[in-house]
Structure 1
Amino acid sequence: MELGSLFTKVIALGTLFEDVLLIALLLLYLMRNPIATMLYRWSARHALILGFLMSASATIGSLLYSEVVGFPACILCWTQRIFMYPMMFLFALAFYRKDGNIFVYTLLLSLIGGSVALYQWIKDMLASYSHTTLPCPAVSDLPSCDKIFVFEYGYITIPMFALTAFIVIALVSYFAIRSRKNEQ
């Protein structure tokens, strides 16, 4: 198995695990299960390191795909990178300085980047499962957004990798903000 295929299988499996975990957490929350409260508190306490690990993984993963595997990044991919890459440095600096005041910024960055990832993922799913398409912004020097390089488990594409990362970062940022407000 070549490096690109192995990397894709590992990342896709991790994304599947995270997506199942997110759905399970949502169900626990809706059922008012105490496990959800415990996980919320744990995530809020460890939000800086969780945010750093997720944003660093997403940043390194996107660079490996474009620079090592050779998948060119389209304008939508670059837009998502604009919102993901700075978060790795924000989380690292905040962790180093023990500064919990970044979560409003990381929440906003992840919501905007996640919206772009969601649009691209919906575009990919419509192209894969129907005859409906959504427009792909055309930029002369960048490749088309219409090519789907990864398609695993019937729904996981590169935009889903990013969307899952943005959702996790948004949640831990929100939990940290909410936890800080409850402490005051």
Structure 2
Amino acid sequence: MRFRDLTLYIAWLIAVVATLGSLYFSEIRDFIPCELCWYQRILMYPLSVLLGIAAFYQDTAIKKYILPLSIIGALIAAFHYMEQKIPGFAAIKPCTQGVPCTTQHINWLGFITIPFLALTAFVLITIMLLLTSNKSSQR
């Protein structure tokens, strides 16, 4: 089995870990998600289900549906990360309700925040999908 045959499984695993990680931060650590975190969740959670089904059936045609979700998710996560790390950037569009989007619940090694973790997951999923071979097979 070649690496390209495993990329859907790897993308699915990344989506599941990201979903479980976000649930851990909100449900176990009691971090209340901000508005941009919710948008990222809205884009990540379906990937866990859709990529799992696609990996099971080796359906690479799912790429055209999943890539827009992962790319938009990466853009939102990058914007969120910039709001947290670039002074003055948050003034462009501050969150108006609930937890401010500039809140850093974690800050590991001085740069790893929750939006950074989401950005990493979305980028890795995008890369795995781009590396996926175009051949679909039915079980």
TM-score range, shorter chain: 0.7 to 0.9
What corresponds to 1:115 in structure 2?
75
Relative contact order (C-alpha < 8 Å, sep 6+): which is higher?
2
Mapped partners of 2:58, 2:89: distance in 1: 46
Would you tell me which structure has more helix in proportion to its own residues? 1
Residue of structure 2 in register with 1:137 after alignment: 95
How far apart in 2 are the matches of 1:138 and 1:105?
A: 31
Q: Over alpha carbons, which structure has the higher Rg? A: 1
* Long gaps (5+) in structure 1: 1-40
TM-score in terms of structure 1 length:
0.67
Structure 2 CA distance for aligned equivalents of residues 74 and 63 of structure 1: 14
One-letter identity of the residue aligned with 2:95: P
Count of matched residue positions in the alignment of Structure 1 and Structure 2: 132
Local SS of the residue matching 1:92: helix
Q: Return the offset for 1:146.
A: 2.2
What is the CA deviation profile of residues 150-169 of structure 1, one whole-angstrom value per residue up to 9, with x for unaligned ones? 11112111000000000000
CA RMSD across the alignment: 1.5
- What residue is the counterpart of 1:16 in the other structure? none
% identity of equivalent residues = 35
The amino acid across from 2:131 in the alignment is F
Structure 1: how far apart are the matches of 2:76 and 2:68? Answer: 13
Per-residue Cα deviation, 1:51-73 (whole angstroms, up to 9, x for no partner): 11000000000001001100000
> For 1:111-143, what per-residue CA distance to the aligned partner results, in whole angstroms no more than 9, with x for missing partners?
00010000011111114xxxx23232323xx32
